[in-house]
Structure 1
Amino acid sequence: MALMPPGPETGEQLDWLEVERELGCQLPADFRDLLAVYGAGTVDECLMVLPAVRGEHESGIPSVGQMTPTAENTAWLSHTKSGYPLWPEPGALVCGLRLVDGNGDLWGAVYWRTTGSVPEQWPVVLWERPRPFVEFDLSMAGLLVKWLTEAADIDFDRRLVFGAPHSRFIHWRIEREMREQGLDPWEYLEPLYIEANEAWEEQNLRPHPGS
């Protein structure tokens, strides 16, 4: 993905037959490729690529299984007022990406709506707090590419990622190593936030000529 180079020591080598047995479904090929090239980790401290396991993962990032709404796992999703069936019912949502705010709290998620037997044909569904679910006729990697494009035309309450050439992906092992060394892996974001806030204030707070 030329819009965001994966960086050093990224990627995951997974036994996808075992993953399929554990999760109860095959994940779309573009997401398998995303994990093979990038692995589990985070973009701009707010967009998490989830580990393809059912339970807890050593990264501490909630897994695909943990973020997928089931009959045993609905408490965190109740305030979204989801009308989708619960996994593993047909048409249920399976989660691939997690969105967090500046405090690390859940801000949203990106799912596949499991319609039919061909994962590559599953549409993706975005939930962003406090907005309703929105469905896109895109792959999950396709939606990610739109986020990373400066001219992204997807309507969001706020930009979750800065886009090329600013956005960075940091693998969970690299993030852990940096923190153990006392380094802030997201230090590069500070001037970007300042610039974004100034641009927002210029557009929304300062009086316009003739007003």
Structure 2
Amino acid sequence: MTDISALTRLCPPPEKPMTIDWTSVESALGMALPADYRQLADRYGPGRFNDYLSLFHPHGVTEFVNLTGLMPGRIRAQLHEQARLGTPPLPHHPDSLFPIGVTDNGEYLFWVTDSLDAPEQWRIAVNEARGPHWYTFDGGLTNFLVSVLSGMTRVPVFPSGLAEQEPSFAPSRPVLYKTSYTPLQPPVDTAAIRTWARANGYDVPSRGRIPPEVRRAWEDAHQT
């Protein structure tokens, strides 16, 4: 059974799927998106799971939950400032974190885009609202929803009673709003950084976090 099949059995979606122009969406973002997210967004549309978790969607009904709206860029800027200050430390570099959802309590969900060329391998990270703690799920977004809503996985920064609820999805009602935002720059492909670093005499591991001094050197060399 696929993850989307498991999710629709666990949590019934709206009767009518959406039709999304994914070529335009991915062109606007400057990167390909995971197939499971495209299926999820098509099948469910914008809305909230368990009256708590909203995923960013190409047809998000407000600018605060729109995948190509202002929030992903604003969140990325906040992460960069947090990384600059170093308090609290981030488990992933801001350029590899792409915001994909938000909870009513203020936790954010991210794709961990370790390689832009392999979106099917992107993991999910969740940060604590107004706190330093993070949780990383070793799987894709739809698999994350199935695991959390079924109670198989408990995310420490989520309310303890979330998994005790009957899984549900509520479509969002359209709201008129005026969009004003600066487009989000796509995440940096860490594979490209590793290739550049080795070509320039830096010793970098094939996996894991890139040393900060190597990333700074790459950023200095690629400033426009």
Which residue of 1 is the match for residue 140 of structure 2?
Answer: 139
For residue 158 of structure 1, report the CA deviation from its aligned partner: 1.9
Over 3 Å counting, the alpha-carbon distance change for 1:32 and 1:159 in structure 2 is farther
Name 1:115's counterpart in structure 2.
Answer: 114
Determine if the alignment matches structure 1 residue 23 to structure 2 residue 29: yes
The corresponding residue for 2:48 is 42
Cα deviation per residue 1:158-178 (whole Å; 9 max; x = unaligned)?
Answer: 2373456x12101113x87xx
Q: Percent identity?
A: 22
**Corresponding residue number in structure 1 for 2:66:** 63
Deviations 1:80-114 (A, max 9, x none): 65364344xxxx2112221112xxxxx21111111
RMSD (Å), alpha carbons: 3.0
Q: TM-score, normalised by structure 1?
A: 0.64
Total equivalences in the alignment: 161
Deviations 1:22-55 (A, max 9, x none): 11111111111100110111112210021137xx
- Range moving further from structure 2, 110-119 or 44-53: 44-53
Stretch moving more, 129-138 or 15-24: 129-138
After the TM superposition, which segments of 4 or more aligned residues of structure 1 sit over 6 Å from their partners? none
Any stretches of 5+ residues in structure 2 without a counterpart?
1-6, 176-224
Letter matched to residue 44 of structure 1:
N
Q: Assess if the C-alpha contact under 8 Å between 2:45 and 2:171 holds in 1.
A: yes
- For residues 71 and 159 of structure 1, do their structure 2 counterparts lie closer, same or farther at Cα, with a shift above 3 Å needed? closer
Change (3 A) 1:121 1:152: closer
The one-letter amino acid paired with 1:45 is D
> What TM-score, normalized to structure 2?
0.60
Which of structures 1 and 2 has the larger relative contact order (alpha carbons within 8 angstroms, sep 6+)? 2
Residue number in structure 1 paired with 2:149: 148
